[in-house]
Amino acid sequence: MLLLSCSGLSRGYSATPLFEGVEFELHAGDRLGLVGPNGAGKTTLLRVLAGQDSPDSGRVQHHAGARVGLLEQQAHFPPDWSVYQVAQSGLDELIAAQQQFEQVASELAHCTDEDRRRQLSAQYDRLHEWLRHHNAYQLDHQIEAVLSGLGFGPEDYHRPAATLSGGQQRRLLLARLLLAAPDVLLLDEPSNHLDIHMTRWLEEYLVRQAEGMVIVSHDRYFLNRVATRILELHQRRITSYPGNYDQYVRLRQERYERQLKEYEAQQEFIARQEEYIRRVHYGQLARQAQSRAKVLEKLERLEKPVLPGMPRIRFREVPRCGDVVVRAENLGMRYGQRVLFRNLNLELPRGKRLGILGPNGCGKSTLLRILIGEEAPSEGRVEIGHRVVIGYLDQQLAVLNPEQTVLQAVRPADDPDITEQTLRDLLGSFGLSGEVVEQPVGSLSGGERSRAALARLTLQRANLLVLDEPTNHLDIWACDALEEALRAFDGSVIVVSHDRYFLNRVVDMLIVFDHGTTEVVYGNYDLYESLRQSRLSAAAANKEAGGSAPSASRSSRHAGAEGGGMPRSSSSKPRRKRRFPYRKVADIEADIAAAESRLASLEAELQNPDLYRDADRVRTTLQQIEQLKAALTQLYEHWEEAVELNG
């Protein structure tokens, strides 16, 4: 069912539009991930869709009476409301319907007029069905489930909402919106302020909902799990890609390469025509030259395609250190009666990249400071390797003096002779140029400060980079650049991060905090997730068989290449449900072959220079190619399902 559509949307400030000509539709069950560089206008677009801001041109339509809800950025709670009351207010419509249902039932029980009884009976049936459809007979259970998923326990229910921290208030706003369950959910960075457990819960919750959603997020792992389509807002335009984030990256690169070939082919065609016109613009062939000149005048020129800008992050070559960079033995940390971790043993070899992952407040940053000698452990010891030089980037970016200009703050103390132009060139490669580098660090946005701090870090000759949440405030493209730079770095890395996509691409070892335990995993996040799912499946199978569920975690466990290898699939895993109608595998394969053949012929047609004489034909061909690729994606998924379930 169509819930929302927009056409020709344009919005800007001053003379420069943030976006223009935006058009797309949202149907029930669609989960659209909206991505784009910082400052592209994603939040503004959500506000326009919600009706909280007016477009300069174009229109937004809410179809079939669709209710629209936007995740607010700032909380404004009544001062005397508790956490539970705020969450419950998301269900005001259902609660009012319940009260009306009770009134109708009471009146119906005492009504003697036959006509009135029929009216009340019909109203009773409608309300009953509506309440049943929205599961309104278990509202307390719904509230408690959502609050629990977002990190609020029973001890928080009666706490005044106004006394919560900023991050907690943001989570409470999300809880209220999820409980309200509008037909269209507009979520601006919903995983901000969520730890790993809450984020997993939110992902599972959203994929079960029937509402339509538009989700702005820098969390690429989250988009992979939740999004069914990606909208890219770049250079004021929206481009739609089917599938999740990984598929978007692949399709965007293919689209860029195809458009670049089309642009280059057209430029070659134009150059040949202009050379011909220049040579024969007089004499017997002058008429032909004039004819070709008219063709060029009418030709719709293709723009050179541009990918979103990515900072060019490069770390210097670093001096070689000892074979073991950091060694920790029987490490433990406690504050009073609270134990953060204990019995942690670790050896980080030279050249390895270690990630630290866990829920908020579990002790990740504390462990980081202990490993680099900035804080003493309660028990055990840490040994830093021979000739190890540490470069530390903390969450608060304290390496930058907020009173200094960006140029002054980035200049390394051990290299005072570095030229200003070198610093400007370096900052420019991070997207910081012009007047920005003359401004005080304290006046920069979070993303600008993060990029300035990373620029400063690249000037140090540290062979051990220690990074605490380095992707905070960075957009997707800056994260990509940082990941590539760390993968190419000659030294070692220790990084605390909640960004699972980042950890997957960068680290080859993990320390995972989970329910008061620590586990060393010799692999990336995907390996850890496989191990975790395997344990959960084994525990569930054991429980169904009547046995006692094995512990999902043990203190200081070791897993991965040196602790049991990859998990094996459980034979008791249930067969998944069908997404597509039953079809024979051979029939689907025939459709795939036909679609691939048609796609190949269309892509071959793009190599024909004559195609570019007709702009409409170019546009139609490109649309057909996009449609075929989307159809093939579904056919491949249908084929995989048929191979697994037919039989």
Instruction: Write the pLDDT tens digit of every residue in 524-558.
Output: 998 888 888 888 888 888 777 765 444 444 334 44
Instruction: Write the pLDDT tens digit of every residue in 555-580.
Output: 344 444 343 333 333 334 455 567 77
464-468, strands of its sheet edge to edge: 390-393, 464-468, 492-496, 353-357, 509-514, 517-522, 557-560
C-beta separation of 479 from 502 below 8 A:
yes
| Per-residue pLDDT band at 126 (split at 50, 70, 90) | confident
Print burial letters for 71-96: b (CB count within 10 Å at least 16), e (below 16).
bbeebebeeeebbbebbbebbeebee
Q: What is the CATH number of domain 1-67+182-243?
A: 3.40.50.300
Residues composing the chain: 647
**pLDDT at residue 562, as a whole number:** 41
| Per-residue pLDDT band at 400 (split at 50, 70, 90) | confident
Pairing relationship of beta strands 184-188 and 324-335 according to DSSP bridges: unpaired
Q: How far apart are CA 614 and CA 473, in angstroms?
A: 44
> Average pLDDT, whole number, for the chain?
86
Q: What is the mean pLDDT of residues 225-235?
A: 94
Placement of tokens 């174009």 in the chain: 58
Instruction: Write the pLDDT tens digit of every residue in 483-540.
Output: 999 999 999 999 999 999 999 999 999 999 987 788 899 889 988 888 888 888 888 8
**Bigger pLDDT: 464 vs 99:** 464
**pLDDT at residue 311, as a whole number:** 83
Number of H helices, E strands in the chain: 19, 19
| Per-residue pLDDT band at 111 (split at 50, 70, 90) | confident
Looking at 464-614, list the stretches that DSSP marks H as alpha helix, in order from N- to C-terminal side.
476-488, 500-506, 525-544, 585-605
| The 3-state secondary structure of 472-515, one letter per residue | CCCCHHHHHHHHHHHHHCCCEEEEECCCHHHHHHHCCEEEEEEC
Q: Is the Cα dihedral 396, 399, 404, 407 positive or negative?
A: negative
**pLDDT at residue 551, as a whole number:** 43
**pLDDT at residue 647, as a whole number:** 61
C-beta separation of 377 from 433 below 8 A:
no
Q: What is the mean pLDDT of residues 234-250?
A: 93
**pLDDT at residue 290, as a whole number:** 87
**pLDDT at residue 90, as a whole number:** 92
**pLDDT at residue 569, as a whole number:** 35
Query: pLDDT at residue 614 above 90?
Result: no
Q: How far apart are CA 166 and CA 620, in angstroms?
A: 50
C-beta separation of 536 from 520 below 8 A:
no
CA distances from 473 to 16, 347, 466 (A): 24, 31, 18
**pLDDT at residue 559, as a whole number:** 42
**Bigger pLDDT: 176 vs 610:** 176
Placement of tokens 């927009």 in the chain: 6
Instruction: Write the pLDDT tens digit of every residue in 320-359.
Output: 999 999 999 999 999 888 889 999 999 999 999 999 999 8
Structure tokens at 206: 């959203």
CB atoms near residue 296 (< 10 Å): 14
Q: What is the mean pLDDT of residues 97-119?
A: 86
Query: pLDDT at residue 605 above 70?
Result: yes
Q: How far apart are CA 317 and CA 266, in angstroms?
A: 43
Query: pLDDT at residue 186 above 70?
Result: yes
Question: What is the SS3 assignment for 614?
Answer: coil
C-beta separation of 566 from 527 below 8 A:
yes
**pLDDT at residue 560, as a whole number:** 45
Q: What is the CATH number of domain 309-389+461-571?
A: 3.40.50.300
**pLDDT at residue 639, as a whole number:** 82
| Per-residue pLDDT band at 590 (split at 50, 70, 90) | confident
Looking at 340-417, list the stretches that DSSP marks H as alpha helix, in order from N- to C-terminal side.
364-371, 406-410
The CA-to-CA distance between both ends of the chain, in Å, stands at: 33
Q: How far apart are CA 513 and CA 501, in angstroms?
A: 18
**Bigger pLDDT: 321 vs 98:** 321
Placement of tokens 């990515």 in the chain: 310
CA distances from 392 to 178, 373, 374, 429 (A): 39, 12, 11, 21
